[in-house]
Amino acid sequence: MARGSSFCHSGAGGKAQGGHASGQRFAAAVRAGARRGYSEPMNMMDARVAQRQDNAVNAVSAAAAGGEADPIRAGTPVFRRTNLAMLCAGFSTFALLYCVQPLLPAFSRQFHVAPAEASMALSVTTVLLAVSLLAAGSLSEAWGRKPMMVAAMVAAALLNVLTAVMPAWHGVLLARALEGIALSGLPAIAMAYLSEEMHPRSISLAMGLYVSGSGLGGLAGRILTAVITDLTNWRVAVATLGGLGLVSAAIFAWSLPPSRHFRPRSLSPWTLASGFAGHFRDVGLRWLFAEGFLIMGSFVTVYNYIGYRLLAPPYNLSQSVVGTVFSVYLVGIASSTWCGGLAGKLGRHRVFWVTIAVMLTGALLTLVHNLAPMIAGIALVTFGFFGAHSVASSWIGARARQARAQAAALYLFFYYLGSATIGTIGGLFWSHAGWPGVVGLIACLLLAALAIGLKLARLPPLPAPGRPG
């Protein structure tokens, strides 16, 4: 019995309650074997079988409690399931958000509004999204990740359908504003989920794949909307995108594993305020928040007003052809994954500023009047933007050691604030100075972003967290 008790004590892994119960079952197995007339080796074999079963139960219980679960590693089945879900999340967010972007000239015609006012169909969504992100990120710290993301995807898809049936311009803007609030339950929480659940060596790739889904959604949203509008009308196009959003939500709910490393936090105002204040005390996070504003504002301004340029003389392209110009989003889909993987190998500080330099080069190239170099310039802007956003998103998760959803929410708040404010201001530059004025605005923003990127490249990294695996 002394041997059995000693073995049990070492095999129970130091868990007081589980170890005590396992020790009792171990001793019982030895006594049962003795009663059946087994020799000591057979007694020990039965006891070891009982011990292994108890250890397995204890491990499952610990994993269910979120205490001992291993992080998700690249190449595993759960990694593939998670990435399928996040691909659908990124697709739905960007498809629903930006499906109206190629429709801005159509809105100007039907509702008799100026380009800057037509851009409000996108800007009002991004403003409400940006503001609501702060609340959604905080709520998810207490309520959990997956339930809020599923609800957000379903609500946003239904509101996109509602947009399609609104008869007046102000009704369209109201539905789009509500859609921005609904979408706030997705991007920051998705970033926090990946930061919590992924192995540190897999997070850059996972974040890159998530951003790839965003690129795919932006591509599909713009092209499908433009083509369906040419074949029918913009209302059918917007409703179709809402249906695709519902399908994405169903796949997401089925494939995303529940959180295993999530730890609920208090919703008290003091806890929430201290979380936000802690992120602003980190100089690296502050610079990354500014980068989100600058790169997104530049990117969305290019896509907001390039359609006006291509529909006008001397190009006179149709709505469908302008929509196919957005196929350069494929470059962004590849860029986000490639740059995310490259940042994991070379370091984010070496890759990030280069992606911004690529954006600036592309923006200047769009000043050329020939169509081919202009499209090449849009492709470079797209490549650089998705690469920069992928690297910045994983960098946020790496620098934020707690309240990660709040950190991601702050980054995306400034990200979408840049989209809303600069995207609308770009319309004033277009109306008064044409495309050169738009590019001048973008170039100033990207020069500031490049200076910050070089500053981040010299920022010392934080100590590695004590994470399992």
Per-residue confidence (pLDDT) for residue 48, from 0 to 100? 44
Helices (DSSP H) in 166-202: which residue ranges? 169-183, 187-197
Mean pLDDT of 10-33: 45
63 pLDDT more than 50:
no
d(CA 247, CA 82): 17
- Cβ-based neighbour number of residue 303 at 10 Å: 25
User: Apex CA 97: angle with CA 95 and CA 98, to 5°?
Assistant: 70
For the domain bounded by 77-457, which CATH number is listed? 1.20.1250.20
Tell which residue, 257, 402, 326, 312, has the closest CA to residue 94: 326
Tens of pLDDT along 65-91?
444 568 777 778 888 898 899 889 988
Q: Give me the chain's average pLDDT, please.
A: 80
In the chain, domain spans: 2-64, 77-457
Which of 108-117, 135-144, 381-390, 434-443 comes out lowest in average pLDDT?
A: 135-144
Residue 127 is which amino acid?
V
DSSP string of 437-462, one letter each residue: HHHHHHHHHHHHHHHHHHHHHTSPPP
d(CA 150, CA 159): 15
Per-residue confidence (pLDDT) for residue 451, from 0 to 100? 96
| Predicted structure pTM score | 0.66
Give the confidence band of 450 by pLDDT, cuts at 50, 70, 90: very high
Q: What percent of the chain has pLDDT over 70?
A: 79
329 pLDDT more than 90:
no
54 pLDDT more than 90:
no
Give the confidence band of 393 by pLDDT, cuts at 50, 70, 90: confident
Strand partners, 198: 72
